[in-house]
Amino acid sequence: MHRKARPAATSEQALYAMDRMIATAQFGQQDIARRLGLNVTDLTCLGFVIEASMAGESLVAGDLADQARLTTGAVTGVLNRLEKAGYIRRSPDPRDRRRVVVVMEETAQQRILAVYGPLYQRLDALFADYDTEEIAVLTDWFTRARELFGEAVKEIREDSRQPQ
């Protein structure tokens, strides 16, 4: 396969482009959440539920609180709203009846894809413009950048100094 010519770019230009993409995605999440009848925190938590479901794993409410960096009380509110909106259901953990397992409702995926679908189709078309080696580089970059973001956010969260 012949590689498509790409415009030259510096790391500064790439960083700027990434910042703009993240900003656009953040505003987009607000619109997507609203369209799904949720707020952004609820949508983020729903994303963790979807991720666990796709991995074939069960997600307990306490683990969701940890992932979302919310108190257990706040997660209870999130789960109440997600359940009322028909995206999840709660059931007792068969191994520990004190814990609650969060399960995605069968119709949730379809409802979510109705909103995200057009975006995913556009992204699929964009990825089709890249060959397999370039897709591998993009996947590696996204994976490693996510890890770096996680480390940096943890440092920021743990730094108790006030901004100057």
Per-residue pLDDT of the chain (164 residues; tens, 9 = 90+): 566 888 899 999 999 999 999 999 999 999 999 999 999 999 999 999 999 998 988 899 999 999 999 998 999 999 999 999 999 999 888 888 888 899 999 899 899 999 999 999 999 999 999 999 999 999 999 999 999 998 998 898 888 777 66
The kind and range of the H/E element at 154 are helix 132-158
Q: Are the beta carbons of 88 and 108 closer than 8 angstroms?
A: yes
91 CB-near residues (< 8 Å, 6+ apart): 100, 101, 103
Pairing of strands 88-93, 59-60: unpaired
- Torsion sign over Cα 76, 77, 80, 81: negative
Beta partners for residue 59, in sequence order: 102
Q: State if pTM tops 0.75.
A: yes
Rounded Cα gap, residues 42 and 25, in angstroms: 16
